[in-house]
Amino acid sequence: MAGAANIQLVRSGVLTDQVDYAYAAVTSAPSRSIYTAGACPLDAEGNTVAVGDYAGQAEQVMRNLATTLKEAGAALTDVVKTTVYVASSEQADLVVTWDVVRSHFTEHDAPSTLLGVACLGYDHQLVEVEAVAVIA
């Protein structure tokens, strides 16, 4: 078991172990689910931070995600799934973003999907992360 007591992160004995995330997460009842909106790289005034900087925006996104989860009674270690959106068609930009996102989860390597997309909703936005968390 990793993370919260009611979350089991599943690693495969057959699929490659060269990925830095679990392949699945299993939760046990009773539990409460939290579905976040996509965390965006916005400051308290609603301005996009770190314009043009994937890593800088990913840092703000993860701080905002952690704050949202805390306000909902959860933490990053309660996350069972994330989706990471990166406004780029360059794999290098996705990797830079992923490295920042991954670093915030430390040993809690919940399943995640990493996507390159054409654009995101705010001016100059490059990164967005949504999450599903489960707490007892």
List pLDDT tens digits, range 10-30. Answer: 888 888 888 888 888 888 777
Residues 6+ positions from 43 with CB-CB distance below 8 Å: 49, 60
**What pLDDT is recorded for position 5?**
59
Strand partners, 133: 34, 79
**Per-residue tokens: 113:** 């999907």
**What pLDDT is recorded for position 136?**
80
Is it the case that residue 115 has pLDDT exceeding 90?
yes
Class of domain 7-135 as given by CATH: alpha beta
Calpha distance 88→11 (Å, rounded) = 29
The structural domains of the chain, with segments of one domain joined by +, span 7-135
**What pLDDT is recorded for position 7?**
78
pTM score: 0.89
Look at residues 46, 43, 39, 50 and name the one whose alpha carbon lies nearest to residue 79: 39
Question: 90 with 98: CB under 8 angstroms?
Answer: no
**What pLDDT is recorded for position 11?**
85
Is it the case that residue 86 has pLDDT exceeding 50?
yes
Instruction: Tell me what the pLDDT averaged over the chain comes to.
Output: 92
Look at residues 36, 56, 43, 35 and name the one whose alpha carbon lies nearest to residue 126: 56
Q: 3-state class of 18 per DSSP?
A: coil
**Lowest-confidence range among 4-8, 52-56, 79-83, 117-121?**
4-8
